[in-house]
Structure 1
Amino acid sequence: MSIVTLVSGGLDSTLIAKLAQEEGLRQHPLFVDYGQRARDRELAACRRAMMALGLSEPTIANLPGYGALIRSGLTDATLDVVKDAFTPGRNMLFLLTAAAHAYQVGADAVSIGLLNEDVSLFPDQTKTFLREAEQLIARCMGKNIRVLAPLSAFHKSDVVALAEEKGVRNTYSCHVGGAEHCGACIACNEFKF
């Protein structure tokens, strides 16, 4: 089985790449530049992580116009990174882009690093969303491409523990994109468990 793994350089996506590697899946790492503020640091961490895992350099989906059009705290520094964090359609954009790439490279599935839905903040982080996205992707592509969320039973504390056990380190998870983690954005706050 081959898979397009959505990778951002963060802990969750690096861990799903590590787990897929352990399962012996052929991976096509995909980084989505959607115009996010943290793009440069995320991409640098992503490249380091894929190299550390012995995976290929991530393919980059250059879609920065999305963030210019769909402004949020993740894409526009004039907006609040927490209060305005919801970026409408972001996870669908990720999955549709990954599925189209999967179609092109002959992969069977796409994988996204969503956690347990009881900690989800947005409507595109639930099992229902994932199931319906998979159905929509099948209709759009004319073939079944599975949508996997291997961490969907996990909370952040579980992810941190498993990542430590698996030796996953040097990731970057901050929506602001600074040299130091801001400690206030949603990504940073997930680590305060």
Structure 2
Amino acid sequence: MNNKKAMVVFSGGQDSTTCLYDAMGRFREVEAVTFDYGQRHKLELECAAQIALELGIRQHVLDMSLISQLAPNALTRNDIAIDHKEGELPSTFVDGRNLLFLSFAAVLAKQRGARHIITGVSQSDFSGYPDCRDVFIKSLNVTLNLAMDYEFVIETPLMWLTKAQTWQLADDLGVFDQVREQTLTCYNGIIASGCGECPACLLRAKGLQEYETARKGGRRL
């Protein structure tokens, strides 16, 4: 186990919850930071708080509501439909979200004595979001280190994993059922398997089906 301290960017969804469990097994001390950015469904915040409470993880909730003022999007506005037209960014993309989240997480991490920042972004299943790419994370890591003269390490355990492989990781960690039943990924604010119709639910369900098929066949992905 790593003797250092980690700060996990934590939303209560499948990916960040899997990262939280993974960090708990690798670091001596783990804390979580959750962002209230005016998202449609406050259940997301409640879900994250409940998981952190059950795990005994210190959770910091930061007010980032300015994002909804700067970049109107389908995650914060009921009057913007959730859609993804070919050749365009999805309406669920929030300009600057990961840039701001990770920057604020870094400021908090330094105050808390943590050098490792963990986020669940993935370039394999990233819905076209530019701020989930590996090149962005590496670039921001250098920038944060220079900005604060502090040696941060931004870790992305899911960067090259498909959603099916993320389910496999949760199973390897012994928390498959917890992630499946307690997390909220759905854009329509429905916990666990969700609405079954939004892009987040479809991606989650497709990955789960692929993993369960592989597991039944005794295969690893």
- TM-score norm. by structure 1 comes to 0.90
- Relative contact order (C-alpha < 8 Å, sep 6+): which is higher? 1
Q: Secondary structure in 2 aligned to 1:119? A: coil
Q: Does 1:175 align with 2:187?
A: yes
Q: Does 1:22 align with 2:35?
A: no
Q: Is the 8 A contact 2:68 2:76 kept in 1?
A: yes
Paired residues in the alignment total: 190
Q: How do 1:24-173 residues align onto structure 2 when only pairs under 5 Å count?
A: 24-38=27-41, 40-56=42-58, 58-83=59-84, 84-115=91-122, 117-120=123-126, 121-165=128-172, 166-167=174-175, 168-169=178-179, 170-173=182-185
How far off its partner does 1:178 sit? 4.7
Give identity over the alignment, percent: 26
Distance 2:68 2:119 in 1: 19
Q: Secondary structure in 2 aligned to 1:147? A: strand
Q: Is the 8 A contact 1:6 1:111 kept in 2?
A: yes
Q: Is the 8 A contact 1:111 1:148 kept in 2?
A: yes
Q: Is the 8 A contact 1:41 1:177 kept in 2?
A: yes
Q: Secondary structure in 2 aligned to 1:61? A: strand
Q: Partner letter of residue 65 of structure 2?
A: P
Q: Partner letter of residue 32 of structure 1?
A: F
- State the match for 2:200 in structure 1: 187
Q: Is the 8 A contact 2:9 2:117 kept in 1?
A: yes
Q: Is the 8 A contact 1:81 1:176 kept in 2?
A: no
- Higher alpha-carbon Rg: 2
How far off its partner does 1:65 sit? 2.2
Q: Partner letter of residue 119 of structure 2?
A: I
Distance 1:178 1:23 in 2: 30
Q: Is the 8 A contact 1:45 1:171 kept in 2?
A: yes
Q: CA RMSD in A?
A: 1.7
Distance 2:25 2:185 in 1: 23
Which consecutive aligned stretches of 4+ in structure 1 deviate over 4 angstroms post-superposition?
Answer: none
